[in-house]
Amino acid sequence: MKQEIKPATGRLGVLVVGVGGAVATTMITGTLASRKGLAKPIGSITQLATMRMQNNQEKLIKEVVPLASLNDIVFGGWDIFPDNAYEAAKYAEVLKREDLEGVKDELQAISPMAAAFDHNWAKRLNGTHIKKATTRWEMVEQLRQDIRDFKVANKCDRVVVLWAASTEIYIPLSDEHQSLAALEKAMKENNTEVVSPSMCYAYAAIAEDAPFVMGAPNLCVDIPAMWEFAKKMQVPIAGKDFKSGQTLMKTVLAPMFKTRMLGVSGWFSTNILGNRDGEVLDDPDNFKTKEVSKLSVLDTIFEPEKFPDLYGDVYHKVRINYYPPRKDNKEAWDNIDIFGWMGYPMEIKVNFLCRDSILAAPIALDLVLFCDLASRAGMCGIQTWLSFFCKSPMHDFDHLPEHDLFEQWRMVKQTLRGMVGEKEPDYLA
């Protein structure tokens, strides 16, 4: 059924947690350069992808649904370091100096607000631009005020909050996460063991009617308390963990093996990465959070309980190694041991020399624009249709996540068609 979608009029504020990081500055620079005609938004589904309509006519996605224009975006955010976006982008060393110079004035105008930060949740980071709050609840109140002030100062009609900061330490689901009342009580009692800084950002965003996107594998909005709050406030939430490199390849290759009914006996994955994210993940407690996100993919795609002869004993190992000389240029190796007819073994080797932030930047932009669209369409809570963009797609206790990239892509298109009252085309007509 066709949905009533409010028009994308006015300015859209995009507040990024970790606005001075490699992913954020790359996304911001690329967006600013694209709207000035200095670059093309390659990799962005919202800007370049097409979809087939019910009558078999093919259209750009941005022609099908009313997405916010890149020209209407105003960037801001928080960071634990005070450098403006231009200085931060130079430090990240992802983009060439000439690409930064083309939008230098705009980047220099983006100065971060002091971040809500707790060193215990990312021990490898030593930030200097940090809020002073006596409790997690006070931290939330300060963030809410930041959002309100930014909207007024920049004349924004709407705001989306995006987490593009580092991975926090791993924590399991606890009693304090089971309900909104329990979470709020933990915040007011300053239970810093179970309430992460990212939860404060998410709560503040939802409280201020701003969709929240989790771009890291942090627990954060992946808890019943946040689901309850998002439904109560009628705000979309999405995540988690940008699906940019090695896991993207897994969600392409694993469905191919399953579709062909080829068996898999082992899948060894390792990475070398030298940026700030790599430094944070060098801490075992932070790596555990990322490892859980990465390991969840294969079981869900392979369904070993349904196909025990093919996938009942897959040995899956994931490693990330901090290697400073590579900076943002990550290298991912995969060794896949498969078997075919009559059980005969074969091997596949994948060596992906990727640029982490170059792959993540368009994902971040697309999630922001689609969450803004969802909000204007009256959608709230977990946006499962955005699983396409995430390593560890959010889901409630009643559903399993979908990891197959092609099924995820179909979910995106079906949701967009549904918004405008269209059905899937009949390819045989």
Give the pLDDT band (50/70/90) at residue 287. confident
- Using CA of residue 324, residue 90, residue 100, residue 26, what is the dihedral sign? positive
Give the pLDDT band (50/70/90) at residue 286. confident
201 and 212 in contact (C-beta within 8 Å)? yes
Q: Would you give the end-to-end CA distance of the chain in angstroms?
A: 22
Q: Among 44-48, 85-89, 144-148, 399-403, which stretch is predicted with the lowest mean pLDDT?
A: 399-403
Residue 391 clears pLDDT 80, i.e. is over it: yes
Residue 13, Cβ density class (10 Å: 0-12 exposed, 13-18 middle, ≥19 buried) = buried
- Mean pLDDT on 325-344: 94
- Mean pLDDT on 231-241: 97
Residue 429 clears pLDDT 60, i.e. is over it: no
- Mean pLDDT on 242-270: 95
Residue 178 clears pLDDT 90, i.e. is over it: yes
Q: What is the pLDDT of residue 344?
A: 98
Reported pTM: 0.94
Residue 294 clears pLDDT 80, i.e. is over it: no
Residue 233 clears pLDDT 90, i.e. is over it: yes
Please give the Cα distance from 319 to 304 (Å, whole number). 23
HEC per residue, the chain: CCCCCCCCCCEEEEEEECCCCHHHHHHHHHHHHHHCCCCCCCCCHHHHCEEECCCCCEEEHHHHCCCCCHHHEEEEEEECCCCCHHHHHHHHCCCCHHHHHCCHHHHHCCCCEEECCCHHHCCCCCCCCECCCCCHHHHHHHHHHHHHHHHHHCCEEEEEEEECCCCCCCCCCCHHHCCHHHHHHHHHCCCCCCCCHHHHHHHHHHHCCCCEEECCCCCCCCCHHHHHHHHHHCCEEEECCECCCHHHHHHHHHHHHHHCCCEEEEEEEEEEECCHHHHHHCCHHHHHHHHHHHHHHHHHHHCCCCCHHHHCCCEEEEEEEECHHHCCCCEEEEEEEEECHHHCEEEEEEEEECCHHHHHHHHHHHHHHHHHHHHHCCCCEECHHHHHHECCCCCCCCCCCCCCHHHHHHHHHHHHHHHCCCCCCCCCC
Over residues 5-60, the pLDDT tens digits come to 999 999 999 999 999 999 999 999 999 999 999 999 999 999 999 999 999 999 99
Q: What is the pLDDT of residue 230?
A: 98
- Mean pLDDT on 329-333: 91
Over residues 350-383, the pLDDT tens digits come to 999 999 999 999 999 999 999 999 999 999 999 9
Residue 268 clears pLDDT 70, i.e. is over it: yes
- Mean pLDDT on 160-172: 95
Domains of the chain: residue spans and CATH? 11-242+357-419 (3.40.50.720), 246-353 (3.30.360.10)
Mean confidence (pLDDT) of the chain: 95
Give the pLDDT band (50/70/90) at residue 288. confident
Over residues 118-145, the pLDDT tens digits come to 999 999 899 999 999 999 999 999 999 9
Give the pLDDT band (50/70/90) at residue 1. low
Per the rule left: phi > 0, alpha: psi between -120 and 50, beta: everything else, 106 is alpha
Nearby residues of 375 by Cβ (< 8 Å), 6 or more positions away: 158, 160, 211, 235, 236
Give the pLDDT band (50/70/90) at residue 412. very high
